[in-house]
Each structure stands twice: as structure tokens, then as C-alpha cells.
A and B are shown apart, each in its own frame.
Chain A
Amino acid sequence: MRAETVTAPAETTDELGRWSGKSVRRTEDGRLLKGQGKFADDHWVHRQGFAQFVRSPHAHARIVSIDTSKAMSLDGVFTVLTGEEAKEMCEVPFFQIAPEPGGKLQEWPLAVDKVRYHGDAVAVVLAETRELARDAAELVEVEYEPLEAIVDGIAAADPGAPMLHEEIGSNVAWQGTYDYGDIDWALENADHVVKIDRLHFHRFSSTPLECNAAVVDWDPGTGVVEVFSNNQMPMFGSMVIGPTLGVPSNKLIFSSQDIGGAFGIKIGSYPQIAALALLSKKAGRPAKWAESRSEHMLSAGHGNERSFVDIEVPVQSDGTILGFKLKAFDDAGAYLHYEPLGAVIWSQVTPGCYRLKHIRVDFTQTLSNKCPTIPNRGYSRLQHLWMIERIVDVVAHELDFDPVELRRRNYVQPDDYPYETPNRCVYDSGDLPRSLELALEAIDLPKWRQRQRELGTGSGKRIGIGIGSTLDSGTNNFGQARILNPELPFSGNGEAAYVKLDLYGEVNVNIGTTPQGQSHETTAAQVVADILNMDHGEVNVTAGFDQRHNTYVAFSGTYASQFAVTGLGAVMGAARKLREEIVTLAAYALEADEDEIVVEDGACHVRDDPERAIPFIGLANIVLSNNAVLTPELRERISLNCRYVYTPPFEVPDPETKTGNITLTYASQIHAAVVEIDEETGKLEILDYVAVDDCGRVINPQIVEGQVHGATALGIGAALYEAFDYDSSGQLQQSSFYEYHALTAPDMPMMKYADIESPSPFTPNGAKGMGEGGGAPLSTICSAIQDALGDGDAIVSDSHNPWWRIHELLRSGENGGARGVEVASR
């Protein structure tokens, strides 16, 4: 299906050149297809030892003693570092984002005194080989005194619950009320109020196929700590662990090349990197670590589990939904890694895709004896968006509206953009009704409604059609952190890039990003080639990130759906500066006016006089190795090495009212699915699936489509298969890909894809970040299951619906249990 532009292009987008907007094939592929990528575990250094963490088998226990003598007695073991020793080597605990009392939480690189989750690291071993390190780790004897564990994220907030961090005085990491419009008025005056007891969004992870890995080398001579890793947000990691280690950021040098998927999860490897730094310091040699899969599942970070309770939804007789009121309990696990940012980031999409006006959310983030959470693709918004989509379906079910029509009626409309939400976020552009129409066309809704009716009872099968409407809010305003903690000196966002001519006139680009499959080398080359009017294949984008030679700002990294805006914004700015220098220099060299200079295919010539020309190699020569020919003024002004920092037009939000524009762009995803459910077993088969994406101006359609496929697959996996569960004592039940069924090829519907382009008026190129997706498949699958259940009593109230839960839903009418829903009508 071809893309169509549905809103007027922004003024800034008329500069599409030869390459932007085309499916240029990827530069990265060359090495990756030949097995020549350089991933974190491919990096070996002289004198390295292999690190192995010793992890707690208990969810909650006091560490009575640690005896490392047997481990140390093995030949080839360099050293063992315990939590207590690590703490003594540190200056301060990790920086906390939360205000007090949550901010009193003390976390060190390894657990001290207590372990707080199954998998908490208590010590780390360094040895000559991987195998020996594992042997030695098994010989570290830890005596534990088990404590009662709390695994329920709601009960954790109870004053009497077992406490994880005594210094806080409770398990509440953050609590606050978001109150917009007048929900009390709406509930009093609405024609109907639909009450839902509880919706539960489960815990899962995108489980990047490459686990965490790092080589950390603390150089005793220079004091430089080199970190070659696959951390995806190294500047954040650096800001957290630098003060803890007592290492200034100009001596804490992160680098990476290829990263084997991350999805947010690899923001979270900084505690391990800090422990490895101390291990390296103690052993006097580099510490190499490659996390195992089971270790990854235990401790690398999970997506946030969130419960929504006491939900009340005012609805008018014509189907207008006025808003909602609820309490949200977000379970952050045992420590606050990047949290409590999740307690505000959802509010980027406060009303979802809808014109909801009256919203009150009492938000509590708790600590529990589970793996710490970490941003996972769609971070914090997908939980909230899923909840809103469930509300819409439940309202339709209870009040007998068509769920498709109900969405259409309540969507933000094309004429509404730029649309200000009740919390003063600004939805930049879009056309949700058109996207919905394309989705319904793609699955042929009338055909399936007909099949649904024909199927009738007694066939043993049910057909369900579901819609998911979500937003991928991209380019954060970090000022949102002040809504959590007004003391935090954070706001805005940005990214940096260098574009330069090298010694022989080669064009080179480097950026502060750390891509994990998002094709930055390819798309950056496209936009630079457009600005310099040359072949994209002639533009080299440095692979990977190296703090020594890449430029960066504190926001640098690859996360939160922003590269197309911040990364490419930086690249475009730098390329334009370089182009200006090239033109000035060529005009000087060719004795022409600047406006006569044509830049084309790696050279400049005078318009209408192609013989008067100078190639980039000539320009580079003048500046880099022949500068006495220049005037002093040009020598001073021109470097052919141009840096640009893109910064979005943000203001600081208001922490009092919890309002302000906290994200720049909103890509939309409208998904539709047709499912068939077997009544006997609950088995669900996806018969058809379509994603309609709108991420504004598309730089490379094939790459965007690929990321939509990927986001859809992770969402379908989470909806039907993937979950992390803990038993009541806090033991993780899924610690390998046997128990954690990551979606495989036969599980994935060969989905359809369509897109529309609603350019963002707020970005330099009309593009919007889109990589995360909004978790639309979770909403879509639940919606389809709800549809298949028909007029029955059951309400789909959990985001995870494996066959056995669907089986329960099919039979829930039979046991006469409470439905968890009621309607009060005026």
C-alpha cells in the first residue's frame, strides 16, 4: 500500500533530496551479513580476566557472611570482590532520581547487607577462563538469613509489608496525583459511569538476543576507566556511576560498535559495569563479562508491571467518553533503575488517542522483591495506552456500542491538530480515522463480521476482531523529571553530530547515538548526501560510539523514539554548516561568488561553467594541509569539521500542575487483528493482522516498515506468550527461553503493513520518532479476544492471554464469579 500525505507538509520539509524518503539499502548489512560485526563479547583485550557474578537464590535475605577462600584457592582465579568491599571502594551510592523519601534509597554496585531479589548480585569473581570463573563463583560461600518477601506490587504499599529498603521507611518509591479537568463533575453528570475493579498489565521483556556484555579496564597509570560494552545510553550510565566510582566523566570512557538489540533493557547494565570497574581496579587487569541468558532473565531488567484499580469512566449516551479516574500501582522491583521516571513518562499520552477531558490518576510506584524494572520498548506509555484501549472496549461491551464506532467517535480528529491534551502536551499531527479506515480495509472488516455471524454457536470456534490505537511519543522533554522531583536540574533534550571532510576530502559523520539495529549509518548518510548533493554511498558514518572521538551531549544514546528527530536533526545541522564552509571555500578558490557555486557529487563548480571546478579533495587540501594560501579571515573561520547540537523547542514543565509539553512528536499506530479461538482449549490463532503506521515524514520506508514489524512481533509475543512470573516466595519462574517463550517464526502472523504520512510541524525534517511503537498489539489482541467472547460476561482484564487464560475467560460465565465490572446509569 502506498504512503499518502494527509496533512500539509511543514515548512521545513521541502528539502527532501535524492535519498531521503527512499528505501536505500543498509550500509550496516555488509559486515553483519558476513559475521564481521563487532559486538560487545567479540571484544578481547590483553591480560583480561573473565568475570562471573555470584547471585542470590533468595528474593529477600540478610547476608550473614561471605567466604571467598575456597574460590580464591582455585588456580587461575585472580580475585573475588564482595558487596561490602565494593562499597568501601565507592565514594557515594548511585544517584537517585526520586525525591525523598524514595530518593533515600541506597544502591551500591553489589548488594550490601541484604539481597532484595532472586538474582541480586552479592559478589563477582575474576578468573583466567570463563569456565574457571564459573567454577569459582560456585565456590563462593554465602550464608543467608531468609526474610519474608513481598512480590505483590499493590500489597507492597501496605504499611505492614516486608520492607526492602529500611532507609525509605516504606516500599513506596514515588506517589502523586495527576488531576486534569474536573473528573468529579464528569462522574456526577455523565449519563453512565462504567466501573472496572482492576486491569493488570504484566511483566515481560523484549529480551534482546545479545545479552549484556562489557570489558572494563581501570588503568592504574592514567586513572582512565575504559568501558567497551553494549550499554545503549552510556551518558546516563556515566552520570550515575561516575560519582559512585569517584571517576570524572572525562576519564570514564564508554564505547561500543554493534549492539545486538536493546529495546531499552540495555540502559540497565550500569550497576554491573560499576562492579566490573571495581573488580578491574582490584585485580589490576581488565574484567570481561558476558551475561548468560538465565542471568539476563533474572537480573538484566524487566518491563514495568502495572495495576489499575477502582477505575471509573463517565460516558454519555451518544458514546462520548468524558475521561477516567483510577489508581495506578507500578511495580518497579527491588531497586530504582531509571525509575521513578516511569511514574511520569506515561503522562506523555495521558488521554491516549482520544479527546478525553477529565482525568485523575493516583499514581504509586512501589518496590518489591523482584528484578528491577528498566525501560522496555514502549516504556511506561504502553501500559497506560493498553489500559485506555481496555476501557474503550469494556465501555463498548457494557453499553452495547460498536467498539470500532466508539473509537471513531472519540478519536482526536484531523482538524484538531496541533491538539493540546488536558496536561498541556501537544499532539503534533495525525489522522487516526484515516488510519483506522486503512486498517479495516486491509483486514476486510465486513467479510469477517459476516463470518463471525455465520459461525454461530456449536462450531467450537469463535472469531474476534480487535483494534489497537496507540501513540509512540518521541523526543522526551527531560523536564518531565521535575514533575517527579522539582529539585532535578533536567530539562529539554538534544543530540550532537560532527560532519567533516577528512584528509583527502572524504565525508565523515559521527553522532552521539548508540544504535542497536536502527540503521543510523544508513539514514544519516541519506540526509547528509542530500544536503551535500552527492551519492549516499560516499558518506561514511562512523560505526558505533566511542566517547574518545564521537561528539555527544548528556542526552546522547539510542532510546525513546527520537533518532529521526534529534539524531538526524544534529546531522542535518552539521551537514548544513559544512556545506556553507564548502561553498565559501570553493568561491574563494574558484574566484567566484558564493551564490554561483554548485555543490555536486563531491565537487564544486561555478554555475554554467563546469570547467571551473574543485573537488572536495582540493578543498580539504587547502584547509588541512595547505592553509597558507588562505586569507587570515578564512583560516580563522573554516575548519571543514562542523559540529551541531540539535535541541528541541521545549520549555520547563510546571511541577505544581503537572502540565507542560513533555514530548515533541506523536507517531500513531492503528492495528487490527482477526483471531480465531478454539472453545475447547482456548488456543488462539491470528488469521489476519495489519499495522497502519504514521510517523510523519519517512526517511527510509523499508527501515520504518521493518521496525513496525519488529514492534508488532514483540507486542504479539507479550500478549500471548511472554511473561515473567514470580511465585509467592519471590522465585522467578522463567529463567530460560524454555519457560519464557520468545515469539518464534511460526507464532508470527505474516502481517500486513500500511502507512500514512502526517509530517510533524515541530521537527527539522517533518519526521517523528517511531521505533518503540505504542504496544498496539497488546491492545489489539485483547480487543479481539473481547470481541470473540461476544455478549458473555467475561472482561479481558489482563494484558497477558495465553491459551489457559482465554480458556478461563470462555468459562468465566459458568462459575458465577464477580465480573469486576458494573454500570451506573442516570
Chain B
Amino acid sequence: MSDAGTVHPIRVTINGETYERTVESRQLLVHFIRDTLALKGTHIGCDTGNCGACTIIVNGRLIKSCMMLAVQADGAEVETVEGLASDGELDPIQQAFHAEHGLQCGYCTPGLLMSATYLLRQNPDPSEEEILRGVRGNICRCTGYVNVVRAVQVAAGGEPTAGGGKREEAAR
């Protein structure tokens, strides 16, 4: 509590837009993004960096934004879920999650999309095992991960073979 009142000016670029704000020393980056900037797409599911709902990309690296202070993001380039779609069009990873039903409640989804985005940047053709490891920092309680893996397989240009593959063609 001793430095609770200490504040710092920071300048952060998020999805191409630059924000200058004054933040408390102790403010978490995720609270800065959600509460200060009202970018509500990045979610919070735990207090300990386990769940991955708040996963974003900072200076090209995948991080959990509850594990970083807002002041540490001073000068950084940040990517969040809101930056994935362009002109309202879903990007390939979002399209694949839609096609493969890789989400149910949608709460973990923004974090999973950022992890998948990062994974495919590092490794454009991941194996099933590499996908499982690539998203192990994201807890999902709805999907059992099978359709998440299928979605990443499809986003990588492959077939959704996880769990024996999908059962039938979609109506749409």
C-alpha cells in the first residue's frame, strides 16, 4: 500500500492506436486495458497467471496481461483480440474457430485466439501435439480443447483431424 498513490505517465500502442495515460504503479496491464481504456475483449479468469483469458501479444511476444504492470508496457506495441478482425472481417484464425465450433461461452476465446495467433506465427504448420502445447496456457472449461485443436489445424491450412475429425459437412 505504501506506493498506492504513486502514478506514472505511460504511452502504449494497442492495435495501432496510441494511448497516453497516467497509471498507478500497481495497476495491472489487464486492468489498464479493460478498465482505463474500456477494451473489454481481454478477459480475466484468475489471479495467478494460470488461466490465460487475458493473453495478449506485447512487442511480438505472448504474455498474460495480469502478470504485467501497466507501467511495464510503457512504449510497447500491444495486440489484443480487438485487433484481429480487419474492416469487420474475421481473420483466418477467427474464421476457423467459427467453422470448427472452437468456442462455446466465449470467455476464454480472446486469450486462445491470441495464443493461436502467436503459435502460427512461430510455427505455421504445427503438429497436433505442438498445438496442444501451444495452447496449454489457456484454460477452457467448455470445449474440451478438441475443437480448438481442429480450429488451429484449419487455420494452418490443414484438415481438422483431431479426435478423428469432424463428422459431417455444415449446413452453412
CB <8 Å contact, A293 and B51: yes
Q: Which of A714-760 contact B (CB under 8 A)?
A: 714, 736-738, 742-746, 748, 750-753
A519 within 8 A of B: yes
A208: contacting residue among B85, B141, B145, B148, CB under 8 A: B141
What mask results when residues 665 to 707 of chain A are scored 1 for a CB within 8 Å of chain B, else 0?
Answer: 0000000000000000000000000000000000001110111
A-B interface contact total, Cβ < 8 Å: 217
Q: B172: CB under 8 A from chain A? A: yes
* B139 nearest CB neighbor, chain A only: A742
**Which residues of A are found within 8 Å of B137, using beta-carbon distances?**
744
Contact of B144 (CB < 8 Å), options: A25, A207, A293, A713 = A713
Q: How far is the CB of B65 from chain A (nearest CB, A)?
A: 13
- A709 close to B46 (CB less than 8 A): no
Q: Is the CB of B143 within 8 A of A709?
A: yes
Instruction: Give the CA-CA distance A736 to B47 in the complex, in Å.
Output: 8
Q: Is the CB of A263 within 8 A of B141?
A: yes
Interface hits, A519-541 → B, CB 8 Å: 519, 537
Q: At the interface, yes or no: A660 with Cβ under 8 Å from chain B?
A: no
Closest beta carbon of chain B to A414's beta carbon, Å: 23
Q: Note all chain A residues with C-beta closer than 8 A to B80.
A: 35
Given contacts A34-B82, A35-B39, 12 further A-B contacts (CB under 8 A): A29-B98, A31-B106, A33-B84, A33-B106, A41-B44, A130-B31, A135-B1, A209-B141, A260-B45, A294-B47, A710-B143, A746-B136
Stretch at the interface among A16-24, A311-319, A648-656: A16-24
Chain A residues near B18: list those with CB within 8 A: none
Contact A753 B164 (CB under 8 A): yes
Interface residue? B162 (CB, 8 A): yes
Name the one of A516, A701, A711 contacting B105, with C-beta atoms under 8 angstroms.
A516
Residues on the B chain within 8 Å of A537, using CB: 172
Is B154 located at the chain interface by the 8 A CB criterion? no
18 contacts between A and B (CB under 8 A): A22-B172, A25-B170, A32-B105, A33-B85, A33-B90, A34-B90, A41-B34, A42-B40, A209-B105, A258-B107, A261-B141, A292-B47, A517-B105, A709-B163, A736-B46, A742-B141, A745-B145, A746-B133
Residues of B within 8 A of A28 (CB): 106
Roughly how many angstroms separate A743 CA and B139 CA in the complex, as a whole number? 7
Chain A min CB distance to B86 (Å): 11
Query: Is the CB of A36 closer than 8 A to any CB of chain B?
Result: yes
Give which listed residue, A19, A35, A290, contacts B40 with CB less than 8 A: A35
Which residue on A lies nearest to B26, using beta carbons? A131
Count residues of chain B with CB under 8 A from any CB of chain A. 72
Is the CB–CB distance between B44 and A261 below 8 Å?
Answer: no
Contact with A258, one of B35, B105, B145 (Cβ below 8 angstroms): B105
How long is the Cα–Cα vector from A518 to B35 in the complex, in angstroms?
A: 28
Query: Does the CB pair A705–B50 fall under 8 Å?
Result: no
B98: A residues at CB distance < 8 A = 25-26, 29, 33
- Find A209's partner among B27, B47, B53, B94 (CB 8 Å cutoff): B53
Flag if B136 contacts A744 (CB, 8 Å): yes
Inter-subunit contact A702/B141 (CB<8 Å) = no
Task: Answer whether A737 and B139 are a contact pair too, CB < 8 Å, given A23-B168, A34-B81, A290-B44.
Answer: yes
List the B residue with the shortest CB-CB distance to A209: B45
- Does residue B78 face the partner (Cβ distance < 8 Å to A)? no
Tell yes or no: A374 within 8 A of B by CB. no
A452 to B144, CA, bound (A): 28
Q: Separation in Å of the A695 CB from the closest CB of chain B?
A: 15
B171: nearest residue on chain A (CB-CB)?
A: A22
A32 touches B45 (CB 8 A): no
CA distance A135 to B26 in the complex (A): 12
Q: Which residue of A lies closest to B147 (CB)?
A: A706
- In the complex, A96→B146 CA distance in Å? 41
At the interface, yes or no: A210 with Cβ under 8 Å from chain B? yes
Q: How far is the CB of B16 from chain A (nearest CB, A)?
A: 15
B132: chain A residues at CB < 8 Å are: 745-746, 748
B103 in contact with A29 (CB, 8 Å): yes
Q: Are B24 and A35 in contact (CB under 8 A)?
A: no
| CB <8 Å contact, B142 and A710 | yes
A703 to B170, CA, bound (A): 11
Say whether A712 faces chain B, with CB atoms less than 8 Å apart. yes
**Which residues does chain B contribute within 8 Å of A748, judged by CB atoms?**
132, 144-146
CB distance B104 to A517 under 8 Å? yes
- Are the CB atoms of A34 and B101 closer together than 8 Å? no
Q: Answer whether residue A206 sits at the interface, using C-beta atoms and an 8 A cutoff.
A: yes
Contact A752:B90 (CB < 8 A) given known A42-B40, A135-B4:
no
Determine the distance from Cα of A135 to Cα of B103 in the docked complex, in whole angstroms: 36
Task: Say yes or no: A707 contacts B104, CB within 8 Å.
Answer: yes
Assembly CA distance A709 to B80 (angstroms): 28
Q: What is the CB-to-nearest-CB distance from A71 to chain B, in angstroms, rounded to a whole number?
A: 12
Q: Residues of A contacting B90 with CB < 8 Å?
A: 33-34
Which B residue's beta carbon lies closest to that of A22? B171
What's the minimum C-beta distance from A214 to chain B, rounded to whole angstroms?
15
A261-B42 in contact (CB<8A):
no
Cβ of A419 under 8 Å from chain B? no
A258 touches B84 (CB 8 A): no
CA distance A131 to B167 in the complex (A): 49
- Cβ-based interface call for A37 (8 A): yes
Q: Which residues of A contact B27 (CB under 8 A)?
A: 131
Find B99's partner among A25, A135, A706 (CB 8 Å cutoff).
Answer: A25
The CA-CA distance from A44 to B82 in the complex, in Å, is 19
